[in-house]
Amino acid sequence: MWLAVIAVLIGLAILVWSADLFVDGATALAKKFNVPSFLIGVLILGVGTSAPEMVVSVLAALEGSPDLALGNAYGSNIINIALVLGATVLISPIIIRKGIIKRDLPLLVLITMVAAWQLRDGQLDQADAIVLIALLVVTLGIQIVLSLREGNHEHEGEPIAESVDAEHIEQTLTRGLISLVIGMLLLVISSRAIVWGAVELATLWGVSELVIGLTIVAVGTSLPELVSSLSAARKGEHDMALGNIIGSNIFNTLGVVGLAALIAPITVSPIILSRDIVAMGLVTLLLVVLCGFAFMSKRPFGRTSGATLMLFFVGYTLWLIQTVNL
């Protein structure tokens, strides 16, 4: 038991430090190549910080624990929006840009609807998995093309600094890559330590596999998103903070679930359909409404929205506890 407690505490300490390193590396690369921060948030932070979810869900699928795999992915999606983004904007409000409203949020809603529709028969087979993974490839391709196009427009007319020392540029690039790789590795390792310790403790208390997946494992594997988003927002990288959440949820829904179902077909527990898919859809729609209001009123996506999302998380947790006790 004490080994599990130590793993959680040390994992948290390493996680906080590595997230700063990770964001610094991603920001350096974005500025070096004139890549929009939102694209870096979606691809590197969003997909990269979903590595713990992918590892846990794949292992769960291989070991015949489908409830843990789905609970981890869908629970992380709920936590990413309600807890991670809620906590982020409570501390540092972010600015909502037009592209997020017109393209990224509708895409997230569409993907969530596809995920819910696939579960209608209570099964996720390999055909469903192939569809999810194909959608992931197409989605990431579209995001890359459109974000790079927007980035080029943003940088049009800006003077090119020809006097910049080539050696300095090379050093900046090298430092950015090293920070990114080391930060990523430490994020994954520390998250695994936290999840292992938390699962060990929960198992000792006799908690069910689905509840572990939706709570302790989901929160543990969402810690990289939480710390990375907070760090990005604190550094003024607003697009990167929101892109991290959207990218992570897209990857969880399409990549994590798709890969788990590709390894082994999943029989979906009825409670996932009636509670967790409903909660995931509601919190996604709530995000769209709050972001839309912030954009239309030309206000930051700030503390009121953050408090609303946090209240949703509290409500979902109470709902989860109530249904577990039934």
Question: Which pLDDT score is estimated for 45?
Answer: 64
Number of C-beta neighbours around residue 110 at 10 A: 12
69, 57 contact by CB (below 8 A):
yes
Question: Which pLDDT score is estimated for 325?
Answer: 57
Question: Which pLDDT score is estimated for 270?
Answer: 85
Question: Which pLDDT score is estimated for 159?
Answer: 45
Distance (Å, whole) CA 310 – CA 252: 21
Diameter of the chain measured on Cα atoms: 69
Distance (Å, whole) CA 163 – CA 183: 31
Q: Summarize pLDDT for 7-26 with one digit per residue, the tens.
A: 877 876 787 677 667 767 77
DSSP for 88-135 reads: HHHHS-BPPPHHIIIIIHHHHHHHHHHHHHHGGGSEE-HHHHHHHHHH
Instruction: Render the burial of 117-133: b for 16+ CB within 10 Å, e for the rest.
Output: ebbeeeebeeebbeebb
Instruction: Render the burial of 134-149: b for 16+ CB within 10 Å, e for the rest.
Output: ebbeebbeebeeebee
Phi/psi region, residue 34 (left: phi>0; alpha: psi -120 to 50; beta: rest), is: left
112-115-117-122 Cα dihedral, nearest 10 degrees = -140
Which parts of the chain have pLDDT scores under 70? 12, 16, 19-20, 23, 27, 31, 35-49, 51-52, 147-148, 150-172, 191, 207-210, 221, 238, 325-326
Number of C-beta neighbours around residue 2 at 10 A: 6
Q: What type of residue is 140? A: L
150, 99 contact by CB (below 8 A):
yes
Number of C-beta neighbours around residue 51 at 10 A: 19
Nearest to 8 by CA among 146, 208, 200: 200
Instruction: Render the burial of 176-211: b for 16+ CB within 10 Å, e for the rest.
Output: beebbeebbebbbebbbbbbbbbbbbbeeeeeebbb
Domains along the chain with CATH numbers? 2-154+168-325 (1.20.1420.30)
Question: Which pLDDT score is estimated for 170?
Answer: 58
Distance (Å, whole) CA 109 – CA 246: 10
Distance (Å, whole) CA 182 – CA 194: 18
User: pTM of the entire structure?
Assistant: 0.78
Nearest to 255 by CA among 103, 130, 89: 130
Question: Which pLDDT score is estimated for 174?
Answer: 79
